[in-house]
Amino acid sequence: MTTTGASGPVHSEITNVGIVLDGVIVRNAVVLAEPSKTLTLVTLAGDKSPSDSLHPPGLFTFRVLWQQTPACHQPIKVAWRAVATHKLQVLASLCSCFKEGDKANTMQTTYNGLELPKDGAPIQYENGHYQIPDNPIVPFIEGDGTGRDIWKASQRVFDAAVEKAYGGKRKIKWFEIFAGEKAFRQFNNWLPDESVAAARDLRISIKGPLTTPVGGGIRSLNVALRQILDLYACVRPVKYYQGVPSPVKHPEKLNIVLFRENTEDVYAGIEFKQGSAEAARLIEFLNEDLLKGGKKKIRTDSGVGIKPISIFGTKRLVRYAIRYALETGRKTVTLVHKGNIQKFTEGAFREWGYEVATQEFRNQTVTERESWILGNVEANPGITVEQNAALIEPGLEFAPQSFRDSVYAEVKSVLDSIGKSHGNGAWKSKVLVNDRIADSIFQQIIIRPSDYSVLATPNLNGDYISDAAAAQVGGLGIAPGANIGDGYAVFEATHGTAPKYADKDVINPGSVILSGVMMLEFMGWKEAAKLIEDALEKTILQKFVTYDFERQTAGATKVGTSEFATRIIGNM
């Protein structure tokens, strides 16, 4: 059966398609297959979407990496990825008719020609929770350049910590997958589909640095992995370890965890080269349609990029950051943005972030302005609404009446809605949600680092700020990171490949080692994680360090990558 849409494309309708979610056939549906390999899933009447709280039943769009025919009788797991329009991009495939509730057996036994460890078990994810076996299969990407030296050293550290912490009762079963230069040499593909499939099927993985060319050539493999697996949160903890050389007087005061939105903003990769037909068409449309009659024009010799920031992308990132703060006892969440200039993208990020705090976490959070209003009442119980408004908005008396009225209404609304639940000092025990302009936060984390704990940022801002913060506590050589989505996580080095130092056994493996610490904590193996952290800090305090720290540390002994790892193991 075929149908014709509003714009004319012809669809092929395939009914009774089983969709696999978290290993279970959860529904039958109608799929409209377009020639462009985009599938549209129309849920049946009365059916429910994967997450009813986020996505109402209706129309969802799928992007397919590969396709199987209905005759294959092999379902493929799907990973839901929603955007603001309630359309979903999915790693999906067609399968034949299955009954709801049937178990799906879709795990491959080999990836890129390598067989999974027979004595290992895959990590499972059900109902929003990971199920970690004692012998989890964890994929790793060695990395390009110095990644080879770093990975060998790091893996020894991980294995030693797990053995010491659990006495052989737990053991990671490592499984190599390929990306970057090694993948290109072996498979003529920078990011093989089966590497992505392994990272998806096995859930939690770790990687070294990968080549990212500037200008032409391939796009960033790191960004590609994040987008394909919908790893929407880049999580970067920044804390100081004793003995690490630092350019600031009190690096120990900086202890933040940065949550950077990973899939949108200018990193969405929607850009058009100067001189291309696409750029010319877009510029013409903007100049002659949207900007027609105004003073603003885009120069015709421009390259053009698009900066999408959505409600959905923003809210799930901020939601994750606030939940993390609540679960770990951190007291502030700061929304970092450039909303004073980019009002409808980064300014909207700020607004939507506050909506998450006040609508979804009302009993556990207080905004900075709310804390001022409540604090003013505590300091002066007889204060009027107008007096309170004047204190939170200096110069209010010179503002237009309409603005003054809006501030009065804000004060009254706060007191009416949370005066009882958050008043009388109760707000002081809540997570404080505030916001800062992006350029000011660079100064703030230097002069007032202890004021900040959790930062939530759009993509580009987070990229800048995380590296700048890392510089205060030792640099990228010791900065861990993770890219996390719903059901998937990739832990990674945050630095580049430094090819001129490749295979010389000199590079600091701290970034991958501490990313492994993050991974172990994420898996719930906190004892092994703490062993590594403590031993790494002890090794640095003993002044046995790689060249990057040795040249900044008086009396230090320079050691290679492998010896640094050996000394960490010895200090466990």
Condensed to tens digits (0 to 9), the pLDDT of residues 182-222 reads: 999 999 988 888 998 999 999 999 999 988 655 554 556 77
Q: How far apart are CA 516 and CA 493, in angstroms?
A: 9
Q: How many helices (H) and strands (E) does the chain have?
A: 16, 24
**Residue 235: predicted pLDDT:** 97
Dihedral (Cα; 324, 330, 331, 332), 10-degree rounding: -60
pLDDT band with cut points at 50, 70 and 90 for residue 426: very high
- Write out pLDDT tens, residues 39-71: 444 333 333 333 333 333 333 333 333 333 333
The CATH number linked to 169 is: 3.40.718.10
Angle (nearest 5°) at CA 351 between 350 and 354: 85
Residues 198 and 98 in one domain: no
Boundary (domain end) residue, out of 106, 137, 160:
106
Other Cβ atoms less than 10 A from the Cβ of 124: the count is: 15
**Residue 214: predicted pLDDT:** 56
**Residue 211: predicted pLDDT:** 82
Angle (nearest 5°) at CA 234 between 435 and 566: 125
Boundary (domain end) residue, out of 106, 130, 159:
106
- Using an 8 Å Cβ cutoff, are 89 and 81 in contact? yes
Report percent pLDDT > 70 for the chain. 80
**Residue 221: predicted pLDDT:** 78
Q: Which residues contact 91 (CB under 8 A, 6 or more apart)?
A: 63, 64, 65, 76, 77, 78, 79, 196, 200, 228, 229
Residues 219 and 120 in one domain: yes
Which residue matches tokens 């970034």? 511
Residues 28 and 95 in one domain: yes
Lowest mean pLDDT among 2-6, 134-138, 179-183: 2-6
The answer to the question of residue 205 being in a domain is yes
Q: How far apart are CA 277 and CA 535, in angstroms?
A: 57
Angular region, 236: left φ>0, alpha ψ -120 to 50, beta rest: beta
Residues 53 and 135 in one domain: no
Backbone φ and ψ of 152, nearest 5°: -55, -45
Residues counted in the chain: 572
More confident residue, 453 or 90: 453
The answer to the question of residue 263 being in a domain is no
The answer to the question of residue 90 being in a domain is yes
Residues 26 and 126 in one domain: no
* Domain count for the chain: 2
Q: How far apart are CA 234 and CA 461, in angstroms?
A: 12
Helix (H, G, I), strand (E, B) or coil at 145: coil
Average model confidence (pLDDT) for the chain? 83
Residues 14 and 56 in one domain: yes
Dihedral (Cα; 559, 565, 567, 572), 10-degree rounding: 160
More confident residue, 544 or 108: 544
The answer to the question of residue 431 being in a domain is no
Residues 135 and 23 in one domain: no
**Residue 213: predicted pLDDT:** 58
**Residue 78: predicted pLDDT:** 34
**Residue 127: predicted pLDDT:** 85
Alpha helices by DSSP H, 129-243: 147-166, 181-187, 193-202, 221-228
| Alpha-carbon distances of 168 from 108, 532, 542, rounded to whole Å | 27, 17, 29
Which residue matches tokens 């970067």? 236
With 50 as the cut, is the pLDDT of residue 414 above it?
yes
pLDDT band with cut points at 50, 70 and 90 for residue 101: very low
Backbone φ and ψ of 31, nearest 5°: -115, 130
pLDDT band with cut points at 50, 70 and 90 for residue 223: confident
Residues 122 and 187 in one domain: yes
- Write out pLDDT tens, residues 473-532: 999 889 999 999 999 999 998 888 888 989 999 999 999 999 999 999 999 999 999 999
Provide the b/e sequence for 152-179 (b: ≥16 CB within 10 Å). ebbbbbbebbbbbbeeeebebbbbebbb
First to last CA, the chain: 66
Among candidate residues 447, 506, 438, 503, the one with its CA nearest the CA of residue 477: 506
Q: How far apart are CA 117 and CA 189, in angstroms?
A: 24
Q: Which residues contact 389 (CB under 8 A, 6 or more apart)?
A: 396, 404, 407, 408, 410, 411
Residues 129 and 239 in one domain: yes
- Tokens representing 170 are 């737990």
The answer to the question of residue 381 being in a domain is no
With 70 as the cut, is the pLDDT of residue 321 above it?
yes
Residues 118 and 6 in one domain: no
Which residues are part of the catalytic machinery? 267, 338, 439, 463
**Residue 222: predicted pLDDT:** 76
Q: Which residues contact 85 (CB under 8 A, 6 or more apart)?
A: none
The answer to the question of residue 310 being in a domain is no
**Residue 37: predicted pLDDT:** 38
Boundary (domain end) residue, out of 106, 132, 166:
106
Residues 56 and 101 in one domain: yes
Q: What is the pTM of this model?
A: 0.80
- Write out pLDDT tens, residues 532-559: 999 999 999 999 999 999 999 999 999 9
What is the domain extent for residue 172?
Answer: 112-226+234-243+482-570
- Using an 8 Å Cβ cutoff, are 334 and 440 in contact? no
The answer to the question of residue 289 being in a domain is no
Mapping DSSP onto H, E and C, the string for 292-324 reads CCCCCCCCCCCCEECCCCCHHHHHHHHHHHHHH
The answer to the question of residue 339 being in a domain is no
Residues 496 and 556 in one domain: yes
